[in-house]
Amino acid sequence: MNSRQDFDWTGDYPAAITVCDRQGTIIAMNRAAAENFRRYGGRKLIGRSLYACHSAASGKTIRRMLEQEEGSTYITDNGRRKRLVQQVPWYRHGSFAGLVETIIDLPAELPVRRRGQANGESE
């Protein structure tokens, strides 16, 4: 890495990162996202609409998030693994530009650290 301009942390970031524009078109994916969505085409999904990749119900949610510039955070559990999914708005020069989805695999046993508890323990 020669300069800060060459710094691209997203490529090797272990969580899946997918970015869409205001119309719901996928415009970027990191390696983890391409691997995560490999069975659906991986990087070939770039340029495709999110609506073509989701059910009608999910499409309705995506449309609402794009129209209202809002995000969503939830945990999925398919019995084999749990994942934290976060979809948040992103902005270019102060204007809403679309959504960024991050998917993080969670360990089977996930500790919860509570800060500032009455027992005096905190991190």
Whether residue 122 is contained in a domain is answered as no
**pLDDT confidence of 123, banded at 50, 70, 90?**
low
Handedness of CA 110, 115, 120, 123 (dihedral sign): positive
Whether residue 65 is contained in a domain is answered as yes
Whether residue 52 is contained in a domain is answered as yes
* Number of structural domains the chain divides into: 1
Question: Over 60: is that where the pLDDT of 119 sits?
Answer: no
Q: How far apart are CA 46 and CA 27, in angstroms?
A: 5
Q: pLDDT tens across 80-102, in order?
A: 899 999 999 999 999 999 999 99
Q: Strand, coil or helix: what is 38?
A: helix
Q: Could you list the residue range(s) of the whole structural domain that residue 90 is in?
A: 9-106
How high does pLDDT run on average in the chain? Answer: 91
Whether residue 21 is contained in a domain is answered as yes
